[in-house]
Amino acid sequence: MCEGKPTNLQAAMWIICEVFDKYAGAEGCKDTMTKKEVKTLMENELPEVCQAVKEVPEAQKILEDLDFNKDGEMDFNEFIVCVSSIMCMIRHVCSAKK
């Protein structure tokens, strides 16, 4: 698809896809993550965010609301919305510290 060295953004997008694939399907369907798989991903890949979620009761509700089709699993589209939301939160927090 890409020739030559990928840009930083292209590399970041490939890494996000790889992270999803790494955790999805460990317990079932390779196209979705169960709540346990999402928890494992958060603990391994986003430990600081995971800790913040534990400290803010509303954060768990937000994660549950990202399951748009309410099937109890996170598909790739839901995962991307989750990652985007976390990125916005991190950017907001980092901007506030400047």
| Positions of E strands within the chain | 32-34, 73-75
- How many Cβ atoms are within 10 Å of 42's Cβ, its own excluded? 19
Q: Do residues 23 and 33 make contact, with C-beta atoms less than 8 angstroms apart?
A: yes
Class of 27-97 in CATH: mainly alpha
Q: Each residue of 34-77: pLDDT tens digit?
A: 988 988 998 899 888 777 777 777 777 777 778 888 888 999 99
pTM to 2 decimal places: 0.81
